[in-house]
């Protein structure tokens, strides 16, 4: 049995695989006003589709859908197999609460209830 595929068929399979990865991933990064879908992510990096991804460098925000995950310092690493790979140099996790400039008492009330 032969495993040879014509170049047109191989290109079609690669395009379909990239489209499926883009649709299945909820991860995206935002650099300024631009937003890019993340094809895949791993510890210390992520990959974008090579055609739409510039050689990004600097601070970007990473989102899972609408939830802000982290702010990352990145640098473009390499382009291979239709993917542009980026290395993450520093990650600052996004917190769910706003920072405060005072110490909260552990027994402080959460909310005030009106008198009835």
The pLDDT of residue 72 is above 70: yes
The separation between CA 110 and the C-alpha centre of its own chain, rounded to angstroms, equals: 34
Residues 50, 53, 59, CA angle at the centre, nearest 5°? 135
How many Cβ atoms are within 10 Å of 76's Cβ, its own excluded?
15
Q: Of 5-9, 15-19, 43-47, 93-97, where does the model show the most confidence?
A: 43-47
The separation between CA 85 and the C-alpha centre of its own chain, rounded to angstroms, equals: 12
Q: Which of 20-24, 57-61, 111-115 has the lowest mean pLDDT?
A: 20-24
SS3 state at 28: strand
Can you tell me the distance from the alpha carbon of 69 to that of 112, in angstroms, rounded to the nearest whole number? 31
Delineate the domains of the chain, giving CATH numbers in brackets: 26-93 (2.40.10.430)
Q: What's the chain's average pLDDT?
A: 83
pLDDT score, position 85: 92
């Amino acid at each position: 049995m032969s495993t040879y595929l014509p170049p047109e068929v191989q290109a079609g399979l690669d395009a379909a695989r990239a489209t499926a990865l883009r649709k299945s991933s909820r991860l995206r990064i935002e650099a300024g006003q631009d937003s890019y879908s993340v094809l895949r992510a791993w510890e210390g990096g992520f990959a974008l589709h090579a055609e739409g991804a510039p050689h990004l460098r600097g601070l970007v925000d990473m989102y899972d859908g609408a939830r802000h995950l982290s702010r990352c310092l990145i640098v473009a690493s390499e382009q291979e197999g239709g993917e542009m790979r980026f290395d993450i140099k520093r990650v600052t996790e996004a917190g769910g609460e706003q920072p405060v400039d005072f110490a909260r008492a552990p027994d402080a009330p959460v909310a005030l209830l009106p008198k009835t």
